Structure 1
Amino acid sequence: MSRAPLPATVTWPEEVRAGYRAAGYWSEQTFAAFLDERVRRFGERQAVVGVDAAGAWQRWTYRDLGAAAVRGADWLRGHGVGPGDRVVLHLPNTVELIAVLAGAFALGAVPVMGLPSHRDLELAQFARLADAAAIVGLPGGAQGLRDAAELAALHARIADRLQGEESSRPGWTPPALLDAATLRLGELAAGAADLDSLPGKAIEGPRPAEQVALLQLSGGTTGVPKLIPRTHADYLYSVRESARICELDADQVLLVALPAVHNFALSSPGILGALEVGASVVLAPDPSPRTAFGLIERERVTFASLVPPLAQAWVAAQRRRPADLASLRVVQVGGAKLAPSVAEEVEPVLGVRLQQVFGMAEGLVNYTRYDDADELRHTSQGLPISSADEILIVDAEDRPVPDGVEGALLTRGPYTIRGYLRPTPEAEAAFTADGFYRTGDRVRRLPSGHLIVTGRDKDQINRAGEKIAVDELEEAAVAHPDVHDALAIGEPDPYLGERICLLVVLETGRAEPGDLREHLRARGLAEFKLPDRVAYLSSFPTTAVGKNSRRELRRLLAERESVTTTASEA
């Protein structure tokens, strides 16, 4: 049975939408039509290379991709998913992910882009917020799920959480919990991919391309994740322009080493940008230099996207034992700020052109251009995609600051959302009355228009490109019987960008717990959200109104280098 339609979200005013259509930023194309056009246009060109659930390498043409979309759509429909229904993806970088994603688009369902590292707490939240019809998983090393039994256990925990949260809601039915291995893509036969038989191109309602196509995830500053409604029109505009700026063409081979559903890997220009131009996508089962370098050599990869820790690892590995990276032309680095000292090493060591990327799943994406001077490519995070991107850099009173002065970044434009799905008051506050999105980033703008990221406004930790909501970690820590209070802060780290430091005040008379990390795992936190360091304090500094002061804690920790992971601090 199909779920209720997505609720209305704060969106672009009609006069703004009309302007974007008139300017050619938005087209009438949906993702189902996008896939159909690529299959028909590029036919026998190679589209996807990746492993399947059985660990066997698959090599698909665009015609095969069309057949996989039909298989995926039929499989979802067979499990009760219909047009407009939401499907939470929890899949590693395998061909099953591509089949389910393409199948959802072909069916007219709305994928929710869960990451492989998410666990029952996060997945249940996504399913609840989206009122999902299905959650699709797959055993795989990137998820830490070794076999179908572990996937079944995870799904059982999700079902328990959802049953407890939703069982009292009238008419609620739990989502189907699906193992994508049952797609059996090793048996895929292309034949004639009849995408016309599927309902995705016949989305109901006015202007189908302006309906929600997918739900991306925001890191958020609270324990409740925010779901980002992206339309066919706005997301495909970002994809097209990204492919143009990055000079993709049909001869390119893109390596996807990051989680494929992440906004960066999917659309900047990512998998969708490659499909836009008829290029080939190679899915890396893991991002390690050993795996990635082997694929670069074997598949003659030309383009790769990394977060700063991976870029640093690749540089170190190439220095230790040089690999054949002769085919590689461009390495993008984004997700977190790249240290200039590392940026200066990427090109000479890897033999590539560096492109810095700065953006957010809510919309705005910036790229350095290939013809930028070295200093700009090494120290800035680029220029916005579009001339229609509106950028405001403001002080604490929302007054614009001059170029060169640090301020808070606000933005609006043809691919930046105007509201979250089912927003909380905190989420609503992320938008101004006239539609600017408060990104939470602090930046400086150069006279050239390039942005330099200087930090974050929000209580959020950016660890290797993953956004960690401090409230979620703190609330889980305080649930431990020995913990009186807890605060999580980001500490500068040359490798991760920021590492997670959890500061703990114990209940009176309690010893430092030896099971705190296991407790956090048991609360359902993903591994990337666990603290890199735990420090025990007797009390927290407070503000004038009695609130815990993160700013003062950061200052104290910078001064007191004696705080360690094993010693309490008086």
Structure 2
Amino acid sequence: MLMHCPTWPEEFAARYRANGLWQGQTLGEMLAERAVQQGDRIAVVSGESRYSYLELDQQANRLASSFLEIGLKPEDRVVVQLPNRYEFFTVIFALFRIGAIPVFALPLHRQSEIQYLCEWSEAVAYVIPDQEAGFDYRVLAEQVQSQVPTLQHIFVAGEPAAFHSLQRLSEHQSPSHIAWPPIKSNDVAFLQLSGGSTGLPKLIPRTHDDYIYSFRRSNEICGLTESSVYLAALPVAHNFPLSSPGVLGTLYAGGKIVLASSPSPDIAFPLIEKEHVTITALVPPLALIWMEAAASRANDLSSLQVLQVGGAKFSEEAARRVEPVLGCKLQQVYGMAEGLVNYTRLDDPEATIVTTQGRPMSDWDEIRIVDEEDNDVPVGEVGELLTRGPYTIRGYYRAEAHNAKAFTVDGFYRTGDLVKMNSEGYIVVDGRAKDQINRGGDKIAAEEVENHLLSHASVFDAALVSMPDSFLGERSCAFIIVRGQMTVSAAELKDYLRARGLAPYKIPDRIQFVDTFPQTNVGKVSKKALREVFATTVTNGTL
């Protein structure tokens, strides 16, 4: 087991195994089993290419063999930053086969995030595309490698320049019988990124056992079978499209994955028609775009049975429009990369589907909703959601001090989400207790952006707050106190943040200069009051 990864107490693990939740299979074994069962059936459609289960399994084997020859070994961390393309699957399953641990980065991450991930995970390798959306990841890799001593290998999907070519490694003729390193199902399979509120992301250790249970149970609720066709419109490294039930759930079911290079209706709608897509997942702003676009498009979307919407709260008004406009069932999904996933059920009454964010998917999920003193609140009242269960982690990687705050002594994870539960056990999300902004499903830790702003010579103090937005749910507004008599413009600060390698979605949507910050009774910056300042100035037309 990877060091510095808290895990389930043995009494819980034994219970989960005895009751068939954890079945002792690794992700690599799961793919090998499906390759035998599904053979030449199509597993992944990527651009104009189509790949069978057998091809995916064989190419993952060849790539795994090459990784071993290069020197990768079990528990080596490998930062994987790939868009929605076929190589994502060959890479992660190759790493699963040899026990190396993918660290999932997002395509929009830049030097600030990638350098941190490589340093904190002590990564030995980094996997990238050559170019995507006009951005050259090879230049980013050079910059990061020059700063991270542990980073020995760069693997490139596409033109490799001075680095390793994934294509050539995947064509390597491996021995017919390879002795893969021994991998246990309770080993850490990969590290995901938290959407936390304190600085840069924390790393979430997911095991083969808990993650396979998560998407196997998701399949049961979402009705995935080998006839299912899943459109991956969101970046597949996100937990939502990866496992709820997502691309891994689709592979488990023996279905077909269709990769979209963008969630734009211009790209997604023709794919739905051509590939007879049955299920896909979106965040609320994209769902709104799809519903607006549907009226002016001639594409046949009749194969689409289920549209999942998650990542942020979906308004009731928009939720009611999904079935009449798109002709498919809406399924609300509320979950977190740390574990717990809630779904509305496909046979739920419309009122439940449009007004709640679902109920826990497993009978083994344990839920508490508590007040500020950790007392359980009555049904229907708002409190902070706490949870533990067979696929909810017991602690972050290398985060002992934070774990003491983020988890109760008896192992409940403090989600930081303010929710209420109705009498049927369905959850309604009310907001956040943590200092985090949910910008259309992209989570922004206020502290991280504030720290970058504070490094500017002209900034005396900075506070990032959320502001309501009818499209994204929330946008960000940075309130700035300038140092002394110095001057700086909003445009200059945004350029400064970009130059520091901050991901585009983290750049503040608005920057407002103020003389002082309102404070709480204990002398802390009152972000509630700052949000009220924003609301007042918008109403008065001064912002």
Q: Is the 8 A contact 1:67 1:192 kept in 2?
A: no
Q: Is the 8 A contact 2:458 2:486 kept in 1?
A: yes
Deviation at 1:185, TM superposition (A): 4.5
Aligned partners of 2:175 and 2:46: how far apart in 1? Answer: 20
Aligned partners of 1:98 and 1:559: how far apart in 2? Answer: 49
Q: Is the 8 A contact 2:63 2:169 kept in 1?
A: no
1:261 aligned to 217, 229, 237, which one? Answer: 237
Partner residue in 1 for 2:93: 102
Partner residue in 1 for 2:524: 547
Match of 2:180, as an amino acid?
P
Secondary structure at the aligned position of 2:235 is classed as coil
The answer to whether structure 1 residue 65 and structure 2 residue 25 are counterparts is no
Percent identity over the alignment? Answer: 47
Aligned pairs for 1:408-423 (under 5 A) are 408-423=384-399
Match of 1:550, as an amino acid?
K
Q: Is the 8 A contact 1:83 1:199 kept in 2?
A: no
Residue by residue over 1:530-551, the C-alpha shift from the partner in whole angstroms, topping out at 9 and shown as x without a partner, is 1111111121111223221111
Q: Is the 8 A contact 2:62 2:172 kept in 1?
A: no
Deviation at 1:521, TM superposition (A): 1.0
1:11 aligned to 7, 21, 25, which one? Answer: 7
Q: Is the 8 A contact 2:126 2:151 kept in 1?
A: no
Q: Is the 8 A contact 2:192 2:206 kept in 1?
A: yes
Residue by residue over 1:513-565, the C-alpha shift from the partner in whole angstroms, topping out at 9 and shown as x without a partner, is 2311110011121011111111111211112232211111112222221688x
Aligned partners of 2:66 and 2:237: how far apart in 1? Answer: 20
Q: Is the 8 A contact 1:411 1:436 kept in 2?
A: yes
Q: Cα gap change, 1:223/1:488 in structure 2, threshold over 3 Å: closer, same or farther? A: same
Aligned partners of 2:463 and 2:121: how far apart in 1? Answer: 29
Aligned pairs for 1:80-479 (under 5 A) are 80-142=71-133, 144-145=134-135, 150-163=136-149, 173-181=150-158, 183=165, 185=167, 197=178, 199=180, 202-203=182-183, 208-479=184-455
Secondary structure at the aligned position of 2:394 is classed as coil
Partner residue in 2 for 1:29: 25
2:515 aligned to 505, 515, 538, which one? Answer: 538
Match of 1:157, as an amino acid?
Q
Residue by residue over 1:17-62, the C-alpha shift from the partner in whole angstroms, topping out at 9 and shown as x without a partner, is 11111111111101111111011111111100013xxxxx210010
State how many pairs are aligned.
537
Structure 2 residue runs of 5 or longer lacking an equivalent are none
Partner residue in 2 for 1:170: none
Aligned partners of 1:465 and 1:427: how far apart in 2? Answer: 24
Deviation at 1:193, TM superposition (A): 11
TM-score by length of 1: 0.91
Q: Cα gap change, 1:502/1:187 in structure 2, threshold over 3 Å: closer, same or farther? A: same
Deviation at 1:187, TM superposition (A): 11
Deviation at 1:508, TM superposition (A): 2.6
Aligned partners of 2:66 and 2:501: how far apart in 1? Answer: 29
Q: Is the 8 A contact 1:67 1:189 kept in 2?
A: no
Secondary structure at the aligned position of 2:477 is classed as strand
Partner residue in 2 for 1:169: none
TM-score by length of 2: 0.95
Q: Is the 8 A contact 2:193 2:337 kept in 1?
A: yes
Residue by residue over 1:338-366, the C-alpha shift from the partner in whole angstroms, topping out at 9 and shown as x without a partner, is 11111111111111000000000000000
Deviation at 1:464, TM superposition (A): 1.1
Q: Cα gap change, 1:504/1:198 in structure 2, threshold over 3 Å: closer, same or farther? A: farther
Q: Cα gap change, 1:120/1:77 in structure 2, threshold over 3 Å: closer, same or farther? A: farther
Q: Is the 8 A contact 1:47 1:278 kept in 2?
A: yes
Partner residue in 2 for 1:168: none
Aligned partners of 2:468 and 2:69: how far apart in 1? Answer: 49
Q: Is the 8 A contact 2:467 2:534 kept in 1?
A: no
Q: Cα gap change, 1:537/1:320 in structure 2, threshold over 3 Å: closer, same or farther? A: farther
Deviation at 1:186, TM superposition (A): 9.7
Secondary structure at the aligned position of 1:342 is classed as helix
Match of 1:36, as an amino acid?
A
Q: Is the 8 A contact 1:462 1:498 kept in 2?
A: yes
Q: Is the 8 A contact 2:78 2:126 kept in 1?
A: yes
Match of 2:409, as an amino acid?
A
Deviation at 1:296, TM superposition (A): 0.6
Aligned partners of 1:519 and 1:445: how far apart in 2? Answer: 43
The answer to whether structure 1 residue 44 and structure 2 residue 43 are counterparts is no
Q: Is the 8 A contact 2:62 2:174 kept in 1?
A: no
> Aligned-residue CA RMSD in angstroms?
2.0
Secondary structure at the aligned position of 2:478 is classed as strand
Q: Is the 8 A contact 1:48 1:61 kept in 2?
A: yes
Residue by residue over 1:437-485, the C-alpha shift from the partner in whole angstroms, topping out at 9 and shown as x without a partner, is 0001011101110100010000011111111111110111111222211
Match of 1:249, as an amino acid?
T
Q: Cα gap change, 1:128/1:192 in structure 2, threshold over 3 Å: closer, same or farther? A: closer
Match of 1:38, as an amino acid?
R
| Range with bigger deviation, 59-68 or 78-87 | 78-87
